[in-house]
Amino acid sequence: MTSPKNTLYPKLFHRHQANPILTAADWPYPVHTVFNPGATLLGDGTTLLLCRVEDHRGHSHLCAARSANGIDGWVIDSEPTFLPDIANHPEEIWGVEDPRITYIEELNKYAVVYTAFSKGGPCVALAMTEDFRSFHRLGEIMTPDDKDAALIPKRIDGHFSLIHRPAYHATAHIWITSSVDLQNWGTHKLLLKARKGAWWDANKIGLSPPLIETARGWLMIYHGVRTTAAGALYRLGVALLALDDPQKCLLRGDAWIFGPETPYECHGDVDNVVFACGHTIGANGDTLNLYYGAADSCIALATGSISELLAWLDVHGSPEIH
């Protein structure tokens, strides 16, 4: 697929020709839009997407869709999979959004970190599941305004780590915090700062899908929000964090690597948005399947290569010092 814009930024991700792969029209019950899915591979190789579904009130819940090849043949739960539980968790009063899934091997469970939209603003919440049918909520783990969070799959120095994105007025940087029990969090550290001025990732950035483990470090795909006269532009960039100390950013790319280009990314409820909350890795250990919300309206798939992303960072990245 080519377009004139392709010459303007690197072609590290390739959109699937079947895009968008899931839309509201596919849903077994009435919904407004489906977007920003978390993603994981189940034990039998099935791709599971935990999709953000916006209803006709504007409130979101989560719904699971399963596919053998991660592209088509989706089997979508006939009812919402994870609805706000307002009686026990009032922080979910205005919905649950943007799930990021991490399989925690030592617990043999999937951690789902999501945004709970509370009356005090968006906050980070955590639920554990073994099967994406029943969930155990740990509740709100980061207070408002905070979102764009995911767990790192293994303990580092005995601690779980959570990447998250607190926001203050119009500024938002990426932070990392740690916990021994997933419930109590502390030792907050700044991980990656939004750049300033004309940069594509000035003022406001956030984690996109959960970190990707490579031999050279944790690969972090993050989004930058560029404020323009025509509204916000959501694009993706990449950085590499040290394996034993993910607070340390080894390389940060200069240009964005993926941005809105196609009609389904440029036009929807919110124009000019690509927003990725999930990925799966192919059997070769290198193919990266990025599942993303397009224009806050539908779900699309783009495929890249971990080794190509690392090679690109070697040329276009520089160490981050703050």
Compute the least distance from the CB of residue 233 to ligand BMA, in Å. Answer: 10
Residue placing its CB nearer to ligand BMA in the complex, 208 or 289: 208
In the numeric block, which tokens belong to residue 201?
Answer: 């990732």
Amino acid at 147: K
Asked if the peptide bond before residue 245 counts as cis, ω within 30 degrees of 0, the response is: no
Inter-residue contact 222 to 207 (CB < 8 Å): yes
Residue placing its CB nearer to ligand BMA in the complex, 206 or 253: 206
Residues at the contact surface with ligand BMA, assessed by CB under 6 A: 36, 97-98, 234, 270, 273, 275, 293, 296
Residue placing its CB nearer to ligand BMA in the complex, 202 or 270: 270
Helix ranges restricted to H, the chain: 263-266, 306-316
Compute the least distance from the CB of residue 288 to ligand BMA, in Å. Answer: 20
Amino acid at 273: V
Residue placing its CB nearer to ligand BMA in the complex, 225 or 310: 225
Residue placing its CB nearer to ligand BMA in the complex, 160 or 234: 234
Compute the least distance from the CB of residue 96 to ligand BMA, in Å. Answer: 11
Compute the least distance from the CB of residue 243 to ligand BMA, in Å. Answer: 29
| Dihedral, 104, 105, 110, 116 alpha carbons, nearest 10 | -10
Compute the least distance from the CB of residue 34 to ligand BMA, in Å. Answer: 12
Compute the least distance from the CB of residue 268 to ligand BMA, in Å. Answer: 10
Compute the least distance from the CB of residue 52 to ligand BMA, in Å. Answer: 7
Q: How many Cβ atoms from other residues are within 10 Å of residue 144's Cβ?
A: 19
Residue placing its CB nearer to ligand BMA in the complex, 100 or 252: 100
Backbone torsions φ then ψ of 313, nearest 5 degrees: -65, -35
Residues 6+ apart with CB under 8 A from 193: 173, 174, 205, 320, 322
Q: What angle do CA 102, 319, 114 make, to 5 degrees?
A: 25
Q: Report how far apart, in Å, the C-alpha atoms of 25 and of each of 70, 266, 298 are.
A: 18, 19, 10
Q: How far apart are CA 129 and CA 49, in angstroms?
A: 14
Residue placing its CB nearer to ligand BMA in the complex, 224 or 293: 293
